Structure 1
Amino acid sequence: PFVIRAAELHYSRIPKEYWEQRIQLSKAMGMNTVCIYLFWNIHEQKQDVFDFKGQNDVAEFVRLIQKNGMYCIVRPGPYVCAEWDMGGLPWWLLKKNNVKLRSLDDSFFIQRTQRFLKEAGKRLAPLQIQNGGNIIMVQVENEYATYGSDQKYMETIRDGVRAAGFDKVQLFRCDWSSNFNNYKLDGVATTLNFGAGSNVDSQFKEFSKVYPTAPLMCSEYWTGWFDHWGRPHETRSIDSFIGSLKDMMDRKVSFSLYMAHGGTSFGQWGGANAGPYSAMATSYDYNAPIGEQGNTTDKFFAVRELLKNYLQEGETLGVIPAAKKVIAIPAIDFTEIAPLFDNLPEARSTESIQSMEFFDQGWGRILYRSTLPKISGRNQLIITELHDWATVFINGKAIGKLDRRRGDNTIELPEGSSNAQLDILVEATGRVNYGEAINDRKGITEKVELVSGEVKQELKNWRVYNFPVDYGFQKRAKFKKGTTGGPAWHRASFKLDETGDTFLDVSSWGKGMVWINGNNLGRFWKIGPQQTLFVPGVWLKKGVNEVIILDVDQPSNRTVKGLTEPILDKINPDESL
């Protein structure tokens, strides 16, 4: 039988110029297939505006896979998890009150899902193997049994995938050995997901009782794991990883390495888990065989060494492509600053507080401003709910920070706050991508209350200022020479004689986001474990380059430099809280 040896790669986490090199590395490791997710929210960032061009040209990615002699497995969702903002669902679904996601009970959700699948099908259905392309399988939804058991919902998604043009290839679903039997789905193969070190026999034991003649496939064999802000860097040993992989090869079990190469959740795309809330780091290195920068690792060579023994007749390992150049960049000092409070956008007014989505904002930061009533004695503010991290100011002075990860929702007001201006600056740090909490609106979702003794009153009449993540908004800030404290944009330029990949050391900065030459590198946070941001060399240029940093906390030193290796495993205490 044909054994699928797949490499999971995410086109959105790899600069387009590097796509082919990452595909070639996968082939050189011994893979014959590439498995991909489609991220609905990157293709339809605004409702009804579809983007499948440039960096989002997934059909081109699939064609490159075929050009390099490999098959492709497509996983179009609509929900994909993937430690990606909202699991790939678009934020604007949350503009609808009481929207029910991943459910037949919401015709709006189902209608929008069908529309996206059709748009994806227009580009990818012609590339099915029966049409001369290389797509051999298409997935229906994603690990649905961990979320629900509505068979009719899954049948609707299956039919939507077929109606989108994927009517020739094998459809499949993926779940876990503990829950795959929660529902049945006719005409759709079943695969299982499990991680390094798993006992292959026990994973497939129940499955083989239910499907005694079905071929076996591990649709996600987890090569490592993802990192959260404030938690230690995750790794998985080569021995446990190779052990289960060899076991699968000996039994002719098909597999997909999740991830073969993780890449980077650039910009605002990193997700979060809930219970308690915990946001994903920007690096999606995943301790995968191919590192974040496309570098080969010991794990890569261990896979290659193993798989050379299992090649089919006439099959050879691909050639390892040339490594991408890596450069160091000397220290860059920031001399220009644009304080956030001096650069407020136009205010919007609302009587009751509203989340970010209400103001048509998908990501970034939002400032809520109101005036406190006449008060005396001890007073507290209670925020319901904070999503995700905030600094509270009274008359322009910071009085404290709140963090959703710890369930913070209360802050003491200093004496003399009567009739004061109250500012709450909230940063969104990634929508929940897994489980029932994916309805994750950002900003302040319900209300802010003032508590004076036994008396509780909701604060009303807010002015709201929106700070989106697009570069066009950042560059409008009015910069000046100086070093004032508080939330601010910082700008510097630097010259390069040569370009190459580098890792921007942001360890002396607080919390925020970085743009280089207009490209959003993603979020940073001094608590770690990640202290560098990957800068693809294709985003740099010979001559003068620009870097803008928005820091909503406080840098200890306004300097960055480019390193030749990442720092992904340095945790710092969060002394700002």
Structure 2
Amino acid sequence: MNLFPSLVAGAALLAAGVSPVLAQAPKHTFEIGETELLLDGKLMQIRCGELHFARVPKEYWRHRLQLCKAMGLNTVCAYLFWNLHEFEQGKFNWEGQADAAEFCRLAQEEGLWVLLRPGPYACAEWDGGGLPWWLLKKPDIALRSRDPDFMAASRAWLAEVSRVLGPLQVTKGGPILMAQVENEYGFYGTDAEYMGQMRQAMLDAGFDIPLFACNPTGNLNNGRRDDLFNVVNFGSDPATGFKKLREIQPKGPLMCGEFYPGWFDTWGAPHHLGKTDQYLKDLGYMLDAGASFSIYMAHGGTSFGMWAGADRPFKPDTSSYDYDAPISEAGWIGDKFERTRDLMAKHLLPGEKLVDPPQPMPVMAIPSFKLKETAAIFENLPAAIPDAQPRHMEAYDQGHGCIIYSIELPAGPFSTLELEQVHDFGWVFLNGKEIGVTDRRSRRFKLDLPDRKQPARLDILVEAMGHVNFGKEIHDRKGIMGKVKLVTLGKEAEVEGEWSVRPLKLDAPLLSSLKWKTGGEAASGPKFWRGTFQLGKTADTFLDLRTWGKGVIWVNGHCLARHWNIGPTQTAYLPGVWLKEGENEVIILDLLGPEKPVLAGLEKPILDQLRPELDFARKKKGELVLKGHKPALEAAFSPGPDVQEVKFPQPLEGSQFALEMLSAHDGKPFAAIAEFDLLDPEGKSISHASWTIAYVDSEELAGEDGSASNAINGQTADFWHSEWKEIQPGYPHHLVIDLGANTKVGGFRYTPRAGNNPGRIKDYRVFVGSGFVKESK
């Protein structure tokens, strides 16, 4: 009996038209039964691991797949990042690093099945969640909705995916067992019709295998459809996760779509390490229960180039996507891998056996060498685009890199430059001299300008980091948006005149056009640096970037990574297959300037070295001022892990939201929040795009990443936690969110930390208004 008859994959020759290596393979069927997944009519427990081929050099795909097989997995999960394959609208790329079909064929040759996740939205800490930047050229586009332009582009994408990967479905003899519709849509919206249209688009494109939808534990019912197989995502507490799944899908196999053994890193926050004992306990629970799962990530790899995304509201992700996965960024294995393998060995299905892992890739050190040539940005500008006002980067047909806005200011006295929005960092120059830096993280968009005895040239160099990849904030345009004003003697006026706009796409044409000089190290300002080093052999290495500032690095034409001296990542993984015997070339864009223009290759990465003293524009902690403000609500949260929603009797209005926590359910001094969301008067989530943490009394940064920003980033697998390792301050605890503008608030949603962990808040008070935090000078 088939529980989901419309989701059954029929019989087919496994290798028909796919790979001559497996030409005589037997027939297979795959279906979703009433209690279990069935391969050839027999129980199949999917033991899957996520492995993003875009984050692994193509030459290493087979090696990493062999490691997955050796760990005890029988399936790999393959994300497609739409923007990788269609970076320019209508121009599809499936070659080289983007050869998804080859990755699937290699998986099949190594005895692994494939779960396909084609999007159109992926998340995955990838630029824009995989959505192409060119969608944002339409001013009013509504991403992940029934917006006709978004749906038309998505249908074209899915049709292209089916053209390339359709022949690799199990129904055609290939390894692809199931395909996902969208991704974690329940966190984003509630429109079941949108999910239905995405499902139909995949059917129309030619997908005839089971289709599934995945969502976090607290969002399973949002946009849910009975004609999709539902799976649940969680990082711990599988019992609760599967209980919630059963509430919305009473029958059918249990499956976790994303099970997190670690977590990703963001610039300026501590490096994440998963709790291996708890991970193995939860994995064992699923194996014992006969549930299927996908370990996210089995192997994280690297967000090469400028593909790393940004967490919400804006926390840019590091290029290293090590994830503390069982298989490290460079394909190394250790204790977590071995213990996972030992656990898997106890739960193999009849006829299965473990294979030995392949040998690790060789690694080497590279002696220190100096980069002696420079090319200053302001001496290598492309042709200007005239404009009456500055607009966002996408409006100038640009998706990545930097952009420079220039205008001549009239003579005038001391004034303040006010920019409405700058995404993401802006270096401001007056007549070539740096005046200061704007910082999206803290919404620092004002700078003082000295008096001008005569007209002066204003240049604003904006660096775009990854487009936000999660939540409503994916509508993340880059560059300057809104008005640019001067405030002089208390009077404000919009800067008027003709702007000159110069896109710096940081692509191959730009690099090839640079005019290099020697002996320019002493000159200040942002510049490119170039150097070479000689090799007698090649192997993997990790470039030591500790003496460099902030920017992007290329090696032999490969855009390798972003770098930023604040950490936690201080190295860049350089695959040996991208090196060559003889001369190798390195180019580094450094917007801050290096302490020393030297590089070396290390045998081990540095992933956990924070240097907050080097951060250039962070706002200092303010002083809490709640005295004299009347609480809008005094209440208590219920015990337990469930999401709790609170609605005010009448909407409140303010630019700041303060939560005063008075006690915990377990009586301990700790407070924790997995996620905190505000609701508008209609009960819908309010965008976090302009939010910042205005104040927090305590956040754990030594023992783990308990950053306050984790409470508003949309990720329920991480959390804010008051200090616990070195000191343990008691209640009350305070968290103040600056909303960026006066906002009507109808209520809020509180997600406790998962599992039976400390920090569950009991009594609390809420304040909505302004002036809750006095800023430090």
Same topology, TM > 0.5: yes
Mean CA deviation greater in 78-87 or 127-136: 127-136
Aligned to 1:194: 234
In structure 2, which of residues 273, 276, 285 is the aligned counterpart of residue 247 of structure 1? Answer: 285
- Does 2:416 correspond to 1:380? yes
Q: CA deviation at 1:531?
A: 0.4
1:325 CA drift (Å) = 0.8
- Using the alignment, how far apart are the partners of 2:569 and 2:446 within structure 1? 29
Say which SS state the counterpart of residue 346 (structure 2) adopts.
Answer: helix
Q: Which amino acid aligns with 1:230?
A: G
Q: CA deviation at 1:187?
A: 2.1
Cα distance in structure 1, aligned partners of 2:248 and 2:321: 35
> Which residue does 2:300 correspond to in 1?
262
Residue aligning to 1:159: 200
| Residue 447 (structure 1) aligned with residue 486 (structure 2) | no
Q: Which residue of 2 aligns with 1:124?
A: 165
Q: What residue identity is the alignment partner of 1:119?
A: E
- Determine which structure has more spread, i.e. the larger CA radius of gyration: 2
One of 181, 205, 209 as aligned partner of 2:243: 205
The higher relative CO (CA closer than 8 Å, separation ≥ 6) is in 1
Structure 2 counterpart of 1:136, one-letter code:
L
Matched-pair contact (CA < 8 Å) for 1:496–1:543: yes
After superposition, where does 1:433-512 map in structure 2 within 5 Å?
A: 433-460=469-496, 461-482=498-519, 483=521, 484-512=523-551
Displacement, 1:545?
A: 0.5
Matched to 2:327, the amino acid is I
TM-score normalised by length of structure 2:
0.73
How many equivalent pairs are there?
571
Match of 2:338, SS state, is helix
- How far apart, CA to CA, are the structure 1 residues paired with 2:257 and 2:575? 29
**Matching of residues 400-415 of structure 1 within 5 Å:** 400-415=436-451
Contact 1:502 1:537 in 2 (8 A): yes
2:156 is aligned with what amino acid? Answer: R
Residue 109 (1) aligns with residue 150 (2): yes
1:183 alignment partner in structure 2: 223
Alignment match of 1:322 (pick from 345, 348, 359):
359
Deviation, 1:575, is 4.6
Describe the superposition over 1:327-381 as per-residue Cα deviations: whole angstroms up to 9, x where unpaired.
Answer: 11000101111111111111111011111111111100111111112322x3111
TM-aligned CA deviation for residue 112 of structure 1: 0.4
Equivalent residue for 1:231, pick from 260, 269, 274: 269
1:472 counterpart SS class: helix
> CA separation in 1, counterparts of 2:137 and 2:246?
44
- Structure 1 residue 203: Cα displacement: 1.3
422, 429, 436: which is aligned to 1:393? 429
For 2:615 and 2:196, the matched residues in 1 are separated by 50
Please tell me whether residue 34 in structure 1 is matched to residue 70 in structure 2: no
Partner of 2:65: 23
CA–CA separation in structure 2 for the residues paired with 1:207 and 1:322: 40
Q: What is the alpha-carbon distance in structure 2 between the residues aligned to residue 485 and residue 375 of structure 1?
A: 26
What's the secondary structure of 1:182's corresponding residue? coil
* Range with greater deviation from structure 2 (453-462 or 117-126): 453-462
1-side partners of 2:161 and 2:168: how far apart?
11
Give unpaired runs (5+ residues) of structure 1. none
Q: Which whole-Å deviations, capped at 9, do the CAs of 1:296-344 have from their partners, x for residues lacking one?
A: 1211111001110111122111220111111110001011111111111
Cα distance, 1:179–1:372 mapped onto 2, change above 3 Å: same
Alignment of 1:94 with 2:127, yes or no, is: no
1:86–1:34 CA distance, 2 compared to 1 (3 A): same
| Equivalent position SS for 2:510 | helix
Cα distance in structure 2, aligned partners of 1:372 and 1:220: 53
Q: Does the 8 Å CA contact 1:372/1:417 hold for their aligned counterparts? A: no
Provide the rounded CA distance (Å) in 2 between the counterparts of 1:341 and 1:126.
Answer: 50
State whether residues 127 and 133 of structure 1, in contact with CA within 8 Å, keep that contact through their aligned partners in structure 2. Answer: yes
Q: Is the 8 A contact 2:485 2:492 kept in 1?
A: yes
Between stretches 169-178 and 408-417, larger displacement belongs to 408-417
Matched, 1:347 2:384: yes
Distance (Å, rounded) in 1 between the aligned partners of 2:247 and 2:88 = 46
Q: CA deviation at 1:91?
A: 0.2
Please state if 1:553 is matched with 2:592: yes
Counterpart of 2:579 (choices 540, 547, 552) is 540
In structure 2, how many angstroms separate the alpha carbons of the residues matched to 1:183 and 1:297? 40
Contact 2:411–2:452 under 8 Å retained in 1: no
**8 A contact 1:289–1:297 mirrored in 2:** yes
Q: Secondary structure at the match of 2:135?
A: helix
Aligned-partner Cα distance in 2 for 1:417–1:34: 65
CA distance in 2, matches of 1:181, 1:576: 43
- Which moved further from structure 2: 551-560 or 182-191? 182-191
Structure 1 residue 182: deviation in Å? 2.0
Displacement of 1:417 in angstroms is 6.6
Please say if 1:331 is aligned against 2:368. yes
Q: 1:421 to 1:127 in 2, by over 3 A?
A: same
Residues in 1 aligned to 2:599 and 2:193: alpha-carbon distance in whole angstroms: 53
Q: Residue 474 of structure 1: CA displacement?
A: 1.4
Q: Is contact 1:471-1:515 (8 Å) kept? A: no
Once the two structures are TM-superposed, the CA of residue 204 in structure 1 deviates from its matched residue by 1.4
Change beyond 3 A, Cα 1:317–1:418: farther
Asked whether the 8 Å contact 2:187–2:222 carries over to 1, the reply is no
| Cα offset, 1:500, TM superposition | 0.6
Q: CA deviation at 1:186?
A: 3.2
- Partner residue, 1:420: 456
